Amino acid sequence: MADAMNQVAVDVKPRRLTLERRLGLEHSMFWSTAFRTLRAPGGWMGLLIIVTMVLISIAAPLISPYDPLAIHKTEQFKPPQAQYLFGTDEFGRDLLSRTIWAGRISLLAGAFAVSFAMGVGVPLGLVAGYFGGVIDAILMRIMDTMLAFPAILLAMAIVAVIGPGSLNAMIAVAVVSIPTFARVARSSMLTQKNMDYVTAARSIGARDARIIFRGILPNAIPVVLVQVAVSVAFAILVEAALSFLGLGTQPPDPSWGNLLQVSRRFLYQAWWYGVFPGAFLTILIIGLNLFSEALRDALDPTRRHLF
């Protein structure tokens, strides 16, 4: 009898509250996800890198020591020193200032491309997955056709048609990112559309648009958010590649891609020319990847016991 009572006492013993529960965050999806993401080392490190890069780019007019376009012919190929921390280029322009201003182009390209791709791809994927049939077949075959081409080649083809330039490169990157969001949204729709809450909404006469965008879309947001974090890094890399190939940002405007492209000609003469823009680009991509990995783990129900 005593053993049975002890067993009952053990069974009803309250579980130790996690830090998340003690802070009262378990009932808020946003704050709960943010808490779990930032608890992971990669999450806060990645976010710190991203925020630092964004702040540096926003404050470029205030923190740049020189005009990024100003030419000083007597200061050509100065190595890193107190006056020019990142050295100068073939025209005597300060590479620190040019690297800082170049970050604006890359971050803007990532934000614009992902926003555009998400705004177009997610609704297409949701509609295709919800209605199925001919609509699904047509839309997904278009997406599959776009995915059949390597992203950089498709972006190059688009820029070749509409012309080089920063804005056109952003448009090209946005277009090649649409199929990814469409496929992710469609996959989420196929998982959700046969669930009980969707059946209940149909039974009370809810319109398709309301079911898709008010009922199912909120449940697809976690998957889309992870894809956003991954796609920003991808968009920045593609924009840098287009600029490296001469199809993106055009000189004298700086971008990390065209700085790396020009630095190839002076690799033995000015080693610092491509090192610092390349380092900034690499650090930003690492930060985005770290944050996206932490966000993915935070939104994965099978891994929540790790936080």
HEC per residue, 111-130: HHHHHHHHHHHHHHHHHHHH
| Average pLDDT of the residues of the chain | 86
Count CA atoms within 13 Å of residue 227 on its CB side: 23
25 pLDDT exceeds 50?
no
* Mean pLDDT value across residues 37-53: 89
Helix, strand, coil tally for the chain in percent (to 5): 75, 0, 25
Pairwise CA distance, residues 36 & 44, whole Å:
10
Pairwise CA distance, residues 232 & 108, whole Å:
10
* Mean pLDDT value across residues 253-272: 92
Q: What is the pLDDT of residue 17?
A: 46
pLDDT digits (tens, 9 = 90+) for 116-133: 999 999 999 999 999 989
Q: What is the pLDDT of residue 86?
A: 95
Q: How confident is the model at residue 21 (pLDDT cuts 50, 70, 90)?
A: low
Q: What is the pLDDT of residue 220?
A: 84
Pick the CATH number of 29-56+107-306 from 3.30.1490.20, 1.10.3720.10, 1.10.150.120, 3.40.50.300: 1.10.3720.10
The answer to whether the CB of 136 falls within 8 A of the CB of 129 is: yes
Q: How confident is the model at residue 307 (pLDDT cuts 50, 70, 90)?
A: very low
Pairwise CA distance, residues 11 & 7, whole Å:
6
Evaluate the CA torsion angle 230, 289, 54, 107 in order and state its sign.
negative
Q: What is the pLDDT of residue 9?
A: 45
* Mean pLDDT value across residues 258-275: 92
Q: How far is CA 144 from CA 126, 136, 148, 151, 163, in A?
A: 16, 12, 6, 12, 25
Pairwise CA distance, residues 202 & 215, whole Å:
11
Phi, psi (deg, nearest 5) at residue 268: -90, -20
| Structure token digits, residue 64 | 């740049």
Place of tokens 């012309």: 163
More confident residue, 265 or 30: 265
The answer to whether the CB of 307 falls within 8 A of the CB of 36 is: yes
3-state DSSP assignment of residue 195 = coil
* Mean pLDDT value across residues 245-251: 90
Close Cβ partners of 91 (under 8 Å, ≥ 6 residues apart): 71, 72, 73, 76
Pairwise CA distance, residues 21 & 27, whole Å:
9
Percent of the chain with pLDDT over 70: 87
* Mean pLDDT value across residues 183-195: 90
The pTM assigned to this predicted structure is 0.83
The distance between the two most distant Cα atoms of the chain, rounded to a whole number of Å, is: 95
